[in-house]
């Protein structure tokens, strides 16, 4: 009688899913169109050229910051320090311009943004602190530094209006072109580069990604640096538009960015998300806020609506994870 060795089976890892499915993308488009139709009926000013431009401009900073946020979330990481970072960048720009001049101040802002990304990335990938705790701590630290540098006051920056107010082509503001450019480049990176595919793989199965030879820590570290650079761009646009820097600027931006990214289909569990979905999420939020403003609905109710959207998006994501057998 012979005894066979125990049969061992290896479970083949499920392939990660990049982007959104066509039905879900279609559903977002239908929601966006439906909101546009509703607000058009409610206000005669909604579909005017000026108002459409206002929507795109207001969505620009959100979209610019949301692009690398999507990249981070598909790797199951996120950055909640973006709002405080944008405020700090504005304050550094105004202070640096007064002390050293605008070119030197811009360089100082870039260095500041990279340092923010380095601190976040180092804390998460090297020290091993959870991304939520790391970026929440940085949220407080950066906002506090902005207050210290500004002395709790608003700093004026009257001679830096180009990036935020210039209309280089077809009378369209420069932030809109920057927004579109960031979205296109980010989409190409996520869909067609080794780095983008690596971030999807890390989010879907970090152990398998590491065994496949992907330098997971380096990839995530790079994602945080890209987020810091996006914060620089967003902060410079904000301070340019306002002509002044406030340490309280961009309050709530992190919630808006997270809402847009998750509403666009990125999963908190990682391995899923797309720039197209994030773009649709950003535009839905922009249209909703603009339409509610035209209807004279108080801004507090706009925050309630945004919070409800975030709960809906996260709830739908959790339901989808349960149905597919992957729970967090």
Q: What angle do CA 54, 60, 66 make, to 5 degrees?
A: 145
Query: Is pTM, for the whole model, over 0.75?
Result: yes
Mean pLDDT along residues 98-109: 94
Mean pLDDT along residues 3-20: 44
Task: Please state whether 243 falls in left (phi above 0), alpha (psi between -120 and 50) or beta.
Answer: left
How does pLDDT run across 119-150, given as a tens digit for each residue? Answer: 999 999 999 999 999 999 999 999 999 999 99
How does pLDDT run across 105-124, given as a tens digit for each residue? Answer: 999 999 999 999 999 999 99
Residue 42 pLDDT exceeds 50: yes
Is residue 62 within a helix (H) or strand (E), and if so which, with residue range?
helix 49-74
Residue 23 pLDDT exceeds 90: no
What is the pLDDT at residue 7?
43
How does pLDDT run across 226-277, given as a tens digit for each residue? Answer: 999 999 999 999 999 999 999 999 998 999 999 999 999 898 888 999 999 9
How does pLDDT run across 182-229, given as a tens digit for each residue? Answer: 999 999 999 999 999 999 999 999 999 999 999 999 999 999 999 999
Q: How far is CA 61 from CA 155, 200, 241, in A?
A: 20, 25, 11
Pairwise CA distance, residues 82 & 116, whole Å: 9
Domains, the chain, in order of start with CATH, read 22-31+44-315 (1.10.3470.10)
Mean pLDDT along residues 88-111: 95
- Assign 10 a pLDDT band (cuts: 50, 70, 90): very low
């Amino acid at each position: 009688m012979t005894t066979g060795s125990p049969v061992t089976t290896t479970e083949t890892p499920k392939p990660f899913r990049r982007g959104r499915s066509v039905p879900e993308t279609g559903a977002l488009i239908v929601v966006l169109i439906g909101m546009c139709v509703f607000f058009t009926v409610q206000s005669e000013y909604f579909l005017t050229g000026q108002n459409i431009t206002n929507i795109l401009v207001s969505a620009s900073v959100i979209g610019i910051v949301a692009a690398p946020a999507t990249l981070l979330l598909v790797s199951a990481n996120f950055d909640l320090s973006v709002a405080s970072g944008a405020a700090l960048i504005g304050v550094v720009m105004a202070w640096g311009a007064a002390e050293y001049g605008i070119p030197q101040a811009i360089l100082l802002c870039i260095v500041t943004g990279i340092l923010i990304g380095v601190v976040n990335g180092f804390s998460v990938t090297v020290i091993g602190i959870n991304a939520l705790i790391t970026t929440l701590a940085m949220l407080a630290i950066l906002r506090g530094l902005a207050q210290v540098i500004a002395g709790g006051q608003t700093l004026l920056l009257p001679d830096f209006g180009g990036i935020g107010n210039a209309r280089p082509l077809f009378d369209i503001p420069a932030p809109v072109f920057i927004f579109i450019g960031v979205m296109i480049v980010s989409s190409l990176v996520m869909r067609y580069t080794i780095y983008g595919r690596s971030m999807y793989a890390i989010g879907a199965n970090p152990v398998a990604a590491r065994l496949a030879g992907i330098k997971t820590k380096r990839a995530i570290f790079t994602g945080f640096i890209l987020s810091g650079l996006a914060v620089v761009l967003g902060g410079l646009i904000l301070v340019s538009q306002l002509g002044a820097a406030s340490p309280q600027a961009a309050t709530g931006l992190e919630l808006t960015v997270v809402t847009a990214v998750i509403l666009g289909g990125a999963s908190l569990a990682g391995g899923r998300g797309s720039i197209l979905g994030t773009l649709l999420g950003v535009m839905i939020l922009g249209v909703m806020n603009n339409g509610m403003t035209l209807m004279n609905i108080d801004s507090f109710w706009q925050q309630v609506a945004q919070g409800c959207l975030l709960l809906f998006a996260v709830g739908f994501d959790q339901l989808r994870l349960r149905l597919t057998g992957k729970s967090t």
